């Protein structure tokens, strides 16, 4: 009757709490669907004459399948993204992990990276470049949704579409956001493979977060106590 709730209280908090890990991998799947099907849609009317994505690389054999996947994946991407941003703000995770960002530190980190002196033994702390990139990619994620909305409904949301100028400009912005996400993924995945414990951490939760550090952090949330 008075059995203690083990899961909620006795397990120590980890670097990546379970909800965050779930959202990370759902996002990975959504991005995969969106980029693969987006390339299929792009191929029907290319923006750059030299760029045509090979058939084996795209999702959807015919145009309608690419479109079906894209307008299915958008719900996963947007709903999961909203959940992630709400979680990051509500738990104080964004504030803790991504701020403050010092410009001086950004340059210092770039210098260290170029001299191969970058330390990555502490997964729980993001360096300044990581902070800039994670924050930047979130802004790109928001912009790709906004430009996507303007592309999908240029008349119903004509006020929004008007901010971009022409319809083709919206396509270009949407495409460039995809390119930025792709570049981010290349760096992100490369580094995750170079520092395999970071990849493992996104599956298992990673190192236990130091209690003192946790208490020092502003607004340490209840929810992070659930691994």
Partner 1 sequence: MSIRFPIAAILRPHKTLGRSPTKRLAVDDINRRGLIRGAASLGALGLLTGCDVSEEPPVQSLLRTVSAWNDGVQETILRPSHLAPTFSPSQVVKPPRFNAYYDIEDVKPVDGATWKLELVGRIDNKQPWTAQQLYQLPEQEVIIRHVCVEGWDYIGQWSGPNLRDFLHRVGADLTAKYVYFICSDDYTESIDMASALHPQTILATKYAGDVITDPFGYPLRLRTSIKLGYKNAKWIKAIEVSNDFRETFWSKQGFNWFAGI
Residue choice 99, 162, 190, 200 for contact with partner 1 (CB under 8 A): 162
32 sits near partner 1 (criterion: CB under 8 A): no
The CA-atom distances, in angstroms, between 77 and each of 25, 58, 117, 180 are 11, 18, 36, 16
Q: Is 52 in the site for partner 1 (CB under 8 A)?
A: no
Between CA 95 and CA 103, with CA 99 as vertex, the angle to 5 degrees is 165
Q: Which of 11, 29, 51, 63 binds partner 1 (CB under 8 A)?
A: 63
Q: Cα separation of 55 and 45, whole Å?
A: 14
Find the binder of partner 1 among 102, 158, 190, 213 (CB under 8 A). Answer: 158
Piece in contact with partner 1 (CB under 8 A), picked from 15-23, 40-48, 112-120, 127-135: 40-48
3-state secondary structure of 156: coil
The answer to whether residue 62 forms part of the interface with partner 1 (CB under 8 A) is: yes
Q: Which of 3, 48, 155, 196 binds partner 1 (CB under 8 A)?
A: 155
Q: How far is CA 67 from CA 38, 140, 175, in A?
A: 8, 22, 15
The CA-based diameter of the chain, rounded to the nearest angstrom, is: 70
Residues in the site for partner 1, rule: CB under 8 A? 41-45, 55, 59-65, 67-69, 71-72, 75, 152-156, 158, 162, 167-168, 171
């Amino acid at each position: 009757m008075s059995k203690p709730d083990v899961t909620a209280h006795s397990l120590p908090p980890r670097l990546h709490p379970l909800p965050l890990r779930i959202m990370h991998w759902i996002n990975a799947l959504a991005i995969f669907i969106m980029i693969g099907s987006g390339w299929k849609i792009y191929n029907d009317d290319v923006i750059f004459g030299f760029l045509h994505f090979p058939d084996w690389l795209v999702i959807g054999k015919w145009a309608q399948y690419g479109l079906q996947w894209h307008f299915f994946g958008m719900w996963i991407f947007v709903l999961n993204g909203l959940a992630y941003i709400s979680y990051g703000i509500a738990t104080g995770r964004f504030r803790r992990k991504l701020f403050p960002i010092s410009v001086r530190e950004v340059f210092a980190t770039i210098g260290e990276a170029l001299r191969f002196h970058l330390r990555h033994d502490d997964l729980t702390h993001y360096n300044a470049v990581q902070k800039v990139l994670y924050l930047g990619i979130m802004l790109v994620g928001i912009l790709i949704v906004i430009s996507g909305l303007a592309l999908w409904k240029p008349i119903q949301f004509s006020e929004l579409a008007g901010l971009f100028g022409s319809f083709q400009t919206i396509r270009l912005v949407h495409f460039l956001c995809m390119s930025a996400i792709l570049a981010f993924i290349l760096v992100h995945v490369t580094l995750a493979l170079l520092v395999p414990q970071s990849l493992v951490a996104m599956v298992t939760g990673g190192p236990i977060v130091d209690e003192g550090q946790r208490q020092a952090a502003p607004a340490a949330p209840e929810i992070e106590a659930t691994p």
